[in-house]
Amino acid sequence: MELFSMDFSTLFTIENLIAIVIGTLYGLLIGALPGLGATIGIALILPFTYAMSPLGAILLLVAVYQGAEYGGSISSIVLGVPGTPAATATVIDGSVMAKKGYPGKALGYSLTGSYIGGLVGALVLMTLTIPLSTVAIKFGDPEFFLLGILGLVCVAGLSSSDIPKSIISVLLGLLLGMVGLDGFTGSQRFTFGSLSLLDGVSMIALLVGMFAVSEVLFTLGDLNKRYVTESKNLKTKLTWKEIKMVAKEMIRGSIIGSFVGVLPGLGAGPASWFAYTEAKRASKNPETFGKGEPNGIAAPEAANNGAVGGALVPLLTLGIPGSPATAVILGAFLIQGIQPGPKVFETHPDLVYGIFWGFLVATIAMYYLGKYTTSLWARMLTMPNYALTPIILIIALIGVYASNMNIFDVWVAIVAGVVAYFMKKLDFSLPAFILAFILGPIIETSLRRSLSLSDGSFSIFFTRGYSIVILILILFLLGAMIFQKRNPKGKSKDTEIPNL
Amino acid sequence: MSYKKGTNVMLLLITLVSAIFLYQSFSLKTLTTNQPIGPDFFPKVISILLIITCIISFITTLKKTEDRKVELEKFKFVIYTVVAAIVFVMCWQFLGLFYVCSFIFLFALLYLYNNNGSKFKKILTSLGISLVVILFVYAVFGKLLNVLF
């Protein structure tokens, strides 16, 4: 087991430990601030990783991701406003329990849930990644082509309620992904004579534009809103009896979250809704949900932290990010000159195993730092939007510039931000767009290489063992979507997932 | 803004973009002979699919009987912010005075967004926050990360 034989001295360096602590604290803060979630948090801190070692850089971002998913529940509970999209389900019972005078207890359920979720996510990451990568290493171009298509089908079908608009978002992402120099023939595609576009549209610029700049434009709607916070009774201590009461749902939520996180296009937001609905369905007293039920806090919070570990699985094994947040982490890998995927286990084993164990350390750090600093973040929530918004905007733009020292990218970020603002208002899917943008080149390259191998015959996609399995998965998924579309009756109101 | 109208305008714009891409992909030369598909194949397929889906979405939007209003809260602030950002990046690109430009940009937005307190107090807090942030940018990006602006 190489997992246990790694050199732990490469993990426990001062740089890595500081990265985890700072990442966690920053993640808790950004998660707690209403409206700002893990994706923006990771995108804003990304430029700071340029000067770091690969392991330190990735651990910093992973710690932010983990911290932000718990941090989101702080404002859900104390303010009744979700801190991140993934903490929306927590508002239902969390804010009621806080209004009853027990915000600390609610935060305690959330923190413990997040901790268990994070641990289960780490376990899933460690146990699923290695066997998956040994399969993935055998994949050739036809399999990668089909995997790309599978990813697109997932995001198009799952990320928005308006299917045609999701498909349009996917196709638009694919189209934009083709801008630049064609790797096979050297011909310039859609560069419109611009030198800056030869390398294609910058992924970092697009991500920051679509998720940070557009979010800034969104917050302008309530610039001078002042939140009233309940800053008494913020101690997050729980008794054993209380933990035992929610243990079952916490574990169930963690498992749901971890596996939902693996699927592209879903991630923490839907995971927490699934866990909440499942906890309510399985409960003997479903009528207590919505009235401050502890399970209604612990289950979704376990799920959204579980999803963090799950989301890293496709990124590490296949090099395919499943969510916008992991797309930014992919950006960090690429800036370090490392292409994640099955080969990374051979080329950088210390990095991969370091991420596994570091992820576990980051989860533990989140629990202890969260425990002692929650009341601090709860007080910070009164930070006014009018001051925060311009600061986020300028740091985002400067970060984009720093990624490539190219001012053209800053223009891309601004345009992407404005376009994303309208796309979001009109229910187009931003995650679908960005994932298609990243998957597009993978899909096109593997399609063209496959067809070169087979002399132009498409039979290469259904005559290979693994290809057939992936093809069946795609067909199964499409079938399930069409079936669900035809039978919408089975859906009750509270299983509906809001658009992300 | 009406949801239906907004959607239709967006669909029209996307159709236009895909038409440009489609038109451009016809001029992509397929010089190589050993490749079954050239650099024009994928863009052609995607842009045609995109135009078709836009038409489908247009029809489904038309079919929907109910329309709703899309709230564009404080839209004038959105316009101010985008214009300010454009002016800021232009000054940065063409005048080069990055720190001065970003200080003015930040100060302008902070002053504009704040509606608490007297004018004097607003100027003072905006100046203070801008100064701290720009110093932070100088220390972290300029010195620590060696970014040349």
Under 8 Å between Cβ of A448 and A184: yes
A376, pLDDT greater than 80: yes
Q: Please tell me the predicted confidence (pLDDT) of residue B30.
A: 61
Contacts of B32 in chain A (CB under 8 A): 184-185
pLDDT tens profile A431-490: 889 989 999 999 999 999 999 889 889 999 988 889 999 999 999 988 888 887 777 544
Name which residue leads in pLDDT, A266 or A76. Answer: A76
Percentage of the residues of chain A whose pLDDT score is greater than 90: 58
In angstroms, how far is CA A138 from the centroid of its own chain?
A: 27
Under 8 Å between Cβ of A254 and A302: yes
**What span, in angstroms and rounded, lies between the C-alpha atoms of B118 and B63?**
52
User: Residue B144 and residue A222: Cβ atoms within 8 Å?
Assistant: no
Q: Please tell me the predicted confidence (pLDDT) of residue A495.
A: 42
**What span, in angstroms and rounded, lies between the C-alpha atoms of B79 and A447?**
43
H or E element, residue A44 = helix A38-45
Percentage of the residues of chain A whose pLDDT score is greater than 70: 95
Q: Which of residues 49-88 of A touch B (CB under 8 A)?
A: 50-51
Q: Please tell me the predicted confidence (pLDDT) of residue A187.
A: 85
- What does the block give as tokens for B119? 């004018």
User: Residue B105 and residue A394: Cβ atoms within 8 Å?
Assistant: yes
Give the lowest-confidence range in A23-27, A179-183, A248-252.
A179-183
Q: Please tell me the predicted confidence (pLDDT) of residue A229.
A: 63
Interface with B, mutate which of A52, A163, A176, A189 (most B CBs under 10 A) = A189
pLDDT tens profile A202-236: 998 999 999 899 989 988 887 766 666 666 777 88
Q: Which of residues 44-83 of B touch A (CB under 8 A)?
A: 46-47, 49-50, 53-54, 56-57, 60, 70-74, 77-78, 81-82
Residue A387 contacts B, CB cutoff 8 Å:
yes
SS3 content of chain A, % helix, strand, coil (to 5): 75, 0, 25
- What does the block give as tokens for A105? 């207890």
Contacts of B24 in chain A (CB under 8 A): 189-190
Contacts of A421 in chain B (CB under 8 A): 78
Please identify every stretch of chain B with a pLDDT value under 70, giving residue numbers as ranges: 29-34
Nearest to B92 among A171, A407, A448 (CB): A407
H or E element, residue A188 = strand A188-189
Q: Please tell me the predicted confidence (pLDDT) of residue A498.
A: 46
Q: Can you point out the beta strands (E) in A84-165? A: none
A386, pLDDT greater than 90: no
**What span, in angstroms and rounded, lies between the C-alpha atoms of B23 and A270?**
39
Whole-number average pLDDT of chain A: 89
Residues 6+ apart with CB under 8 A from B17: A172, A175
For residue B10, which of A397, A421, A4 has the smallest C-alpha distance? A421
Q: Please tell me the predicted confidence (pLDDT) of residue A225.
A: 66
* Mean pLDDT, range A410-423, rounded to an integer: 96
Under 8 Å between Cβ of B85 and B91: no
User: Residue A168 and residue B53: Cβ atoms within 8 Å?
Assistant: yes
Nearest to B39 among A162, A189, A384 (CB): A189
A492, pLDDT greater than 50: no
- What does the block give as tokens for B45? 């397929």
User: Residue B81 and residue A217: Cβ atoms within 8 Å?
Assistant: yes
pLDDT tens profile A328-368: 999 999 989 999 998 998 899 899 999 999 999 999 999 99
**What span, in angstroms and rounded, lies between the C-alpha atoms of A181 and A198?**
5
Which DSSP letter does residue A458 get?
G
For residue A447, which of A417, A473, A427, A467 has the smallest C-alpha distance? A467
Under 8 Å between Cβ of A381 and A229: yes
Amino acid identity, residue A304?
A: N
**What span, in angstroms and rounded, lies between the C-alpha atoms of A112 and A244?**
11
**What residue ranges do the domains of chain A occupy?**
8-495
Q: Please tell me the predicted confidence (pLDDT) of residue A7.
A: 81
Q: Could you identify the residue written with the tokens 């866990």?
A: A275
Residue A397 contacts B, CB cutoff 8 Å:
yes
Q: Please tell me the predicted confidence (pLDDT) of residue B38.
A: 85
Query: Helix, strand or coil for residue A52?
Result: coil
Residue A216 contacts B, CB cutoff 8 Å:
yes
User: Residue A171 and residue B140: Cβ atoms within 8 Å?
Assistant: no
pLDDT tier at A266, thresholds 50, 70, 90? confident
**What span, in angstroms and rounded, lies between the C-alpha atoms of A224 and A382?**
11
User: Residue A398 and residue B141: Cβ atoms within 8 Å?
Assistant: yes
